[in-house]
Structures are given as structure tokens and as C-alpha cells.
């Protein structure tokens, strides 16, 4: 049986470790997740206010994520 080169084994291990980490990071969170993670919701006017509002989770586990 042939042994795989160490570089290939290292690449496989790195890719296996990277997949769960990226899957665990949500792009957007709910208000409940933000507060449960220790953050607070900050609502800001986009532009002069006529373009709507943005809601972000500030602090905690989900810092900087958009709140749905």
C-alpha cells in the first residue's frame, strides 16, 4: 500500500477542519440570536433615511452581522 505524501495529508486535514468552521458562521442572524449571543441591535438610517434602515448586531458572538 502506498503512503500519501505529507503535503497531501496536510491539505486534506486543513480542508476537513475548514468546512465546519465556515458552515458554523451565519451570514445573517435573527434578533433573538443577537441578544442571546450577548449583543445588542443597532438600527441606523441608510443615507438620508429615505433609503431605509440597516440593523446590525453589535457586540457578543454575532458582532457585525446583519439582523433579519
Model pLDDT for residues 8-64, shown as the tens digit of each residue: 556 656 655 554 444 455 578 999 999 999 999 999 988 777 788 889 999 999 999
Residue 14 near residue 21, CB atoms below 8 Å: no
Distance CA 40, CA 61 (A): 11
Question: What was the pLDDT predicted at 21?
Answer: 45
Question: What was the pLDDT predicted at 56?
Answer: 92
Query: What is the pTM (predicted TM-score) of this model?
Result: 0.55
Distance CA 34, CA 67 (A): 7
Give 3-21 pLDDT, tens digit per residue.
656 665 566 566 555 544 4
Amino acid at each position: 500500500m502506498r503512503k500519501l505524501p505529507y503535503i497531501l495529508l496536510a491539505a486534506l486535514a486543513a480542508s476537513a477542519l475548514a468546512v465546519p468552521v465556515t458552515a458554523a458562521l451565519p451570514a445573517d442572524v435573527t434578533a433573538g440570536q443577537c441578544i442571546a449571543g450577548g449583543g445588542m441591535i443597532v438600527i441606523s438610517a441608510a443615507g438620508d433615511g429615505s433609503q431605509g434602515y440597516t440593523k446590525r448586531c453589535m457586540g457578543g458572538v454575532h458582532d457585525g452581522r446583519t439582523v433579519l
